[in-house]
Structure 1
Amino acid sequence: MSRPLSSRRQFLTQSSLLAGAALGFPAIVSSRSPNARVNLAFIGVGGRAGSNIKELVGTALYPKGPKKEGEAVPAPQEPTENVVAICDVNSQHLDRAAAAFPKAKSYRDFRKMYEESKDIDAVVVSTTEHTHAYATLPALLAGKPVYCEKPLTRDIAEARLITEAAAKAGVATQMGTQIHGMPNYRRVVELIQSGAIGNVTDAHVCVSRAWGHQTKEEAEANKDIVFVTERPTEEQTPPPYLDWDLWLGPAPYRPYNEIYFPGPKWYRWWDFGNGTMSDLGSHWNDLPFWALKLDAPLTVEAFGPEPHPEIAPASMSAVYEYGPRGDMPACKIHWHQGSHKPDVWKNDPFISQWNNGVLFIGDKGMLLSDYNKHVLLPEAAFVDFQRPKPFIADSPGQHIEWLNAIKNGTPTGSPFSYAGPLTEANHLGNVAFRADGKITWDAKAMKITNNEAANRFISRVPREGWKL
C-alpha cells in the first residue's frame, strides 16, 4: 500500500534512528533537513532500475493494467523525491521515464549528464555492471551519495577504487543487495555471532543457477536463456533504440550481436560481467561475510571446467581461507555453483531439499539458511534452545535506509565500506578460477603473490575515451 507523502517522510525519520543505531557502521554527516526532497539522478531506467525508481520515489514506470474489463489504470503516484536527471543508452527506456518525469533532463551518456546537470543531490546507478564504477565514481568525487546495484564493480581494482573514493567522500552509499535488509539474514547473524552453534570453521554456500559456458543440453536442463560456446562472428545491426557504442562503454569494442543484449544475456561474458559468482555472490556470500565478520581472504582455490577466455563458467566451486578475526577462529568458505555440490548437500535428506542456501558448521551444531528462512541442526538438539534477544534492528528497506542516510546522516546496511570488500572477495573466486590454480592474496598490496600471471585479471585498461 502506498503511503501518503507526509507519513512516508515521518517514517523515514523515525525508522532511521533504529536502523542506524544497530547496524554498526559510522554515521554520515548530513546538514539536510529531514523533510527536504532529494534531487535524484537515475543512470539506467530500465529493468532493475524500474524497481529502484518505484522504491525511492513511489512512481512506477511500468504500471499494471486494469484487472477487470472496463477498470481504469490507476494514475501514477506523485513522486516523493525530485527526479532531476535520467540517463539510459536505450531510448525506449529513456522515453518511458521521460514521460513519467517530464521535468527531468534526459541523457544518453552519463558523462554528459555529470558535465551539465548541476542540481543533482544523489545518484542511483542501475546499469550493466561493467559500467558501474564509471557511473559511480564521478558522483563520489563530487561528494554526492550513490546507490549502486550489485555487484558494485566489474573487477577488483574498480572495487578498491570505489571503496576508497567513498571513504574519502564521506557520503551515504548503498549497494543494492535487498536480501541484506530483510529480517532473516539479521536473525542468522545474531545466532552465529552469539555462539548458537559454537565456533564456525566452515560454511558452504550452494547456488543452483548454472548460466554460462556449457553444452546445449546443459543449457536446456538448467533453463538458461542463452546457449553460447564462442564469440559470434556474425555482425548484426543494433536495434534503432540502442546506442551500442555507449552500451559498450569502457569494454573493448566488439560488433553488436543479439547474444549480448538485452540483459541478462551479457552477464556471462568476462568483458561485461562475471557470471554467477559476482552476481549471486553479492547475495549469498553476503550472509557468511556479515555473520563471520570476514575481510580479505588469505587464499582462494577454484575448481571446475577448463577456463574459457571469454565466458564465465556455468558450474564451478571455490574455497576461501580466512584467518582469525577477533574472537572468531580461522575458517573456510566453500562456494558451490550449478552442478557442484558438497557431500552434505548430496547425502543429507533434509539439506538436499534446499536448492540454494548457506550451511554454517560449528562445533556445537549447524545452521542452514536461504533468503527467507533458517533452521538450527540437528533440530532435536535445539528443541529447548533460547534464541538471543534481537540486537540488529529490522531495516525499513535498503532504499529507505539510503534516503535516511542522506537526510539524517544515519548508516546504511550495505555501504561501500562493506560492499567493496565483499565484491573484491567474490571477484577473487573468479580470478582463482581463471588462473586455474590456488592463489595467495595480499589485500594491502592488491596483488596475487604466488602467480604473477593471474594479476592480469585484477584490472583492465578501458577503451579509449573512458577513464576512472
Structure 2
Amino acid sequence: MKSKPTIEDANLTRRQFLRRTTAATTTYLVVPGSVLGLNGATSPNEKLNIAGVGIGGQGAADLSKMESENIVALCDVDWAHAAHTFKRYPKAKPYKDYRKMLEEQKEIDAVVVATPDHLHAFVSMAAIKLGKHVYCEKPLTHSVWEARQLAEAARQHKIATQMGNQGQASEETRRLSEYVWAGAIGPVREAHIWTDRPSQGLFNEYWPQGVGRPKDTPAVPETLDWDLWLGPAPERPYHPAYLPFRWRGWWDFGTGALGDIGCHAFDPVFRALKLGQPISVEASSTRVNTETYPLGSMVTYQFPARGDLPPCKLTWYDGGLRPPRPAGLADEQVMGDNG
C-alpha cells in the first residue's frame, strides 16, 4: 500500500531535491516523430474531432477528404444506405439522430452536413449554437430566410463555416476570372447558363420533377427512420420516389434543378463578371404543381453596370432547354454539353 506523505518529505534539502529530479529525468521515452508533429505530420493533439451527418452519399466523399483528422461520430437515418461509410470508420460512434450525437459527444469540434436540403439549416444551426465549426453541402439551405439565420448565428458564435461548392476552389474557376478581368474576351453584356437536370438525355431523368405525389404507401424499410428523415418537413407517407437522391425535385425536400446545379454554375459567372444584386428577374416554366418543381424553366436576370463593367443579362435554362445556337458556331461544333 502506498504510504502517505510525511512531514519529513517536505524538508528536502536543495541537494536532495536536485539528486531526485536528476534521477527522474534521466529516464525518457522515445516516441515516433508523428506524435510530435515532426516531418510534416500532424500531432494527434492538433487534430480536429469530426462528425458527419448524412453520410450515405456526398457526405461520404466529403469525409474521405478529412481523414487526416479524427472521424469520431457518424449519423445517418438510413443505416443500410450509409453502411459503407460506417464500415470505413469503425472507430466512429454511429447515430441516427444528430441531436443525440451532439448531446452525447461533447468532444466534437466540427460537423459535416450532407443531408437532404430541407435539413441543412436545422443540423447546421444545432452545431453552430454549440460552438461547432460547420462544413455544409450546397445548397446551403432550403430557403433564403434560413441562410440569413445561419449567417447571423455563425457571426454570433464566431465559428468557421464553409459551403460544399468544391468546384469553385479549382484553378479553372480562378483562371476564368483572370481571363475576363484581363479583357481577353472584351466587355460581357450577356451570359447563358444551362443544365439538363432534372432530365438525363431525352428519355431518362436524374430525379422527378413536374409530377404529383405518389398514391401508394409502401412499407418503410426496417433500416430507415422515416420520421427523422422528414425532420421539419410536413408529414407524409414514405415512398421510394423521395430517397435516396431523388428528393431534389420535391418542394418540401429539395431546391430543384436551379437550386441543385445553379450554385455550381452561377458562381464562376458571378465571380468573373463581379455581379451583385439583379435589378429584375423574369421566369417562365413548364406546368407547376404543389409537389414538385417544373420539368423545365428559363430565368432571366438583369444586372446593372458595375464600375467599368457594362450592364449584363444572364439567362438560366434547365430541363434540357438551351439558348439559341450562335450563328458563328460551326455545324460540327458542339455547343457545350451541360452549360
Report the TM range for the smaller structure's normalisation: 0.7 to 0.9
Higher RCO (C-alpha under 8 Å, 6+ residues apart): 1
SS in 2 for 1:133: helix
Distance (Å, rounded) in 2 between the aligned partners of 1:124 and 1:267: 19
Equivalent residues in 2 for 1:382-401 (5 A)?
Answer: none
| Cα distance, 1:153–1:9 mapped onto 2, change above 3 Å | farther
Contact 1:209 1:222 in 2 (8 A): no
- The one-character-per-residue Cα deviations of 1:407-432 (angstroms, maximum 9, x if unpaired) are xxxxxxxxxxxxxxxxxxxxxxxxxx
Distance (Å, rounded) in 1 between the aligned partners of 2:103 and 2:207: 38
Distance (Å, rounded) in 2 between the aligned partners of 1:50 and 1:9: 29
**Equivalent position to 2:184, from 196, 199, 217:** 196
Distance (Å, rounded) in 2 between the aligned partners of 1:10 and 1:222: 55
Q: Which residue of 2 aligns with 1:131?
A: 119
Q: Which residue of 1 aligns with 2:47?
A: 37
Letter of the 2:49 counterpart: N
Distance (Å, rounded) in 2 between the aligned partners of 1:12 and 1:295: 42
Contact 1:206 1:355 in 2 (8 A): no
| Cα distance, 1:10–1:95 mapped onto 2, change above 3 Å | same
SS in 1 for 2:66: helix
**TM-score normalised per structure 2:** 0.81
Letter of the 2:60 counterpart: G
Q: Which residue of 2 aligns with 1:164?
A: 152
| Cα distance, 1:34–1:205 mapped onto 2, change above 3 Å | farther
SS in 1 for 2:73: strand
Q: Which residue of 2 aligns with 1:83?
A: 71
| Cα distance, 1:326–1:117 mapped onto 2, change above 3 Å | farther
Distance (Å, rounded) in 2 between the aligned partners of 1:154 and 1:174: 16
Distance (Å, rounded) in 1 between the aligned partners of 2:198 and 2:77: 29
| Cα distance, 1:101–1:340 mapped onto 2, change above 3 Å | closer
Q: Which residue of 2 aligns with 1:238?
A: 220
SS in 1 for 2:151: helix
Higher mean C-alpha displacement, 33-42 vs 110-119: 33-42
Letter of the 2:46 counterpart: A
Q: Which residue of 1 aligns with 2:229?
A: 247
Q: CA deviation at 1:191?
A: 1.1
Does the alignment pair 1:49 with 2:30?
no
Does the alignment pair 1:108 with 2:90?
no
Distance (Å, rounded) in 2 between the aligned partners of 1:187 and 1:328: 19
**Equivalent position to 2:140, from 152, 160, 168:** 152
- Which structure 1 residue ranges, 4+ long, deviate > 6 Å from structure 2? 8-13
Q: CA deviation at 1:221?
A: 1.9
| Cα distance, 1:140–1:294 mapped onto 2, change above 3 Å | farther
Contact 1:344 1:351 in 2 (8 A): no
Distance (Å, rounded) in 2 between the aligned partners of 1:167 and 1:12: 32
Higher mean C-alpha displacement, 89-98 vs 176-185: 89-98
Give RMSD over aligned pairs.
2.8
| Cα distance, 1:347–1:232 mapped onto 2, change above 3 Å | farther
Q: Which residue of 2 aligns with 1:267?
A: 248
- The one-character-per-residue Cα deviations of 1:280-314 (angstroms, maximum 9, x if unpaired) are 11111111111122233232111121322211122
Between the two proteins, what is the percent identity of the paired residues? 42
- The one-character-per-residue Cα deviations of 1:129-175 (angstroms, maximum 9, x if unpaired) are 11011111122223322111111111111122222222333332221
Listed as ranges, the gaps of 5+ residues in structure 1 are: 14-32, 58-79, 212-218, 358-468
| Cα distance, 1:327–1:140 mapped onto 2, change above 3 Å | farther
Contact 2:76 2:97 in 1 (8 A): yes
Letter of the 1:353 counterpart: M
Does the alignment pair 1:331 with 2:319?
no
| Structure whose CA Rg is larger | 2
Q: How many residues of Structure 1 are paired with residues of Structure 2 in the alignment?
A: 304
Does the alignment pair 1:182 with 2:170?
yes
SS in 2 for 1:343: coil
Contact 1:94 1:106 in 2 (8 A): no
SS in 1 for 2:236: coil
- The one-character-per-residue Cα deviations of 1:348-390 (angstroms, maximum 9, x if unpaired) are 3376431123xxxxxxxxxxxxxxxxxxxxxxxxxxxxxxxxx
SS in 2 for 1:246: helix
Distance (Å, rounded) in 2 between the aligned partners of 1:86 and 1:303: 42
Q: CA deviation at 1:96?
A: 4.2
**TM-score normalised per structure 1:** 0.60
Contact 2:198 2:208 in 1 (8 A): no
Letter of the 1:255 counterpart: P
| Cα distance, 1:226–1:104 mapped onto 2, change above 3 Å | closer
Letter of the 1:291 counterpart: A
Contact 1:43 1:125 in 2 (8 A): yes
Listed as ranges, the gaps of 5+ residues in structure 2 are: 1-33
